[in-house]
Amino acid sequence: MILDRMGQLYPGTVSEPDDFGMAPVEAVHDPAYLDFLRTCWDDWQASGRTGDAVPVCWPARRSSDKAPTDIGGKMGYYGIAIDTSIDQGTWEAALSSKDAALSALRAVLGGERAAFGLCRPPGHHAARDQFGGYCFLNNAAIAAQYARDQGVGKVAIFDVDFHHGNGTQDIFYARDDVLFLSIHGDPKLVFPYFIGHEDEIGEGAGVGFNRNYVFPRDTAYGPWRDALVAGLSRVRDFGADLLIVSLGVDTFEQDPISFFRLHSEDFTDMGRVIAWAGLPTVFVLEGGYAVADIGVNVVNVLTGFESAAEMTAHGLDVRDRA
């Protein structure tokens, strides 16, 4: 469930996620990586190590690409940062999180205009065979691939989290059936650092189907909003049949690990603008670390999205500031 600052339940239908099994996960992630996630905690314990399983050593830029067999080496081979540990229950939590995303997708494929997957842990930093940034399975990517497998023609993923969705970009970088766009802090300054620059436009068949909008410290909502409108124009030009929004709310001005300056009321307008795309929309929760305000800002996006239908009925363009 989602509660606002007053403790009120968000006024939508709330349901438990269904169990979609492993097939949608296996369609996106590397089999050896999934085996690692499934057995990591037991292997860590069996090795005699104590505490949470945390990467402490990574391949350097000119290292071998051979996967170690020792669990300590595996942690660094599959992990991108020391920020993310694996513990008892991590695997089960990740599976439940992808089921939340897939259940939201199923509601939209069943005729709902929009649905929200309350995913924890988040997913957009999880690449095909890497975890990090508190992410293990890429919920948005799993949902996008599942939609394609169910016959949806073109899918757009728009990542509005403060941090670049490096994992999602990695998964779809060479494809032209899934458009990926991300608005985020400059990776020269902030995690994930090594990916997410504006000149990364895709490769092979995917050239032109990857777009990064990069912003510096103290970016306010005005220029951020302009990028959102531009990105949604690209989504419409692409001819997307479905929009998946990686909804991070760490763009909030009081977020402790980010440096954008969005206010809570800006998230309401954000929802209205997203609705302008006119597409069936799945929202998947990503980051947000100003804990007391996460629910407020997420609810603002969702209520803004809902209010757009009324604005359109009155002849208003939701791209205009309310």
- Give the catalytic positions in this structure: 125
Q: Which two tokens stand for residue 288?
A: 């947000």
Report the 10 Å Cβ neighbour count for 81.
17
Closest CA relative to residue 140, chosen from 107, 113, 100: 100
At a CB cut-off of 8 Å and minimum separation 6, what does 81 contact?
A: 55, 132, 133, 191, 192
SS3 label, residue 171: helix
At a CB cut-off of 8 Å and minimum separation 6, what does 280 contact?
A: 108, 109, 112, 113, 114, 241, 242, 243
Tokens 């990105």 sit at which residue? 231
SS3 label, residue 41: helix
> What is residue 115's DSSP assignment?
E
Rounded distance between C-alpha atoms, residue 275 and residue 226, angstroms: 15
Rounded distance between C-alpha atoms, residue 209 and residue 232, angstroms: 13
Report the 10 Å Cβ neighbour count for 96.
16
- Across-strand partners of 130? 127
* Contact call for residues 211 and 223 (beta carbons, < 8 A): no
At a CB cut-off of 8 Å and minimum separation 6, what does 241 contact?
A: 152, 153, 154, 155, 279, 280
SS3 label, residue 10: coil
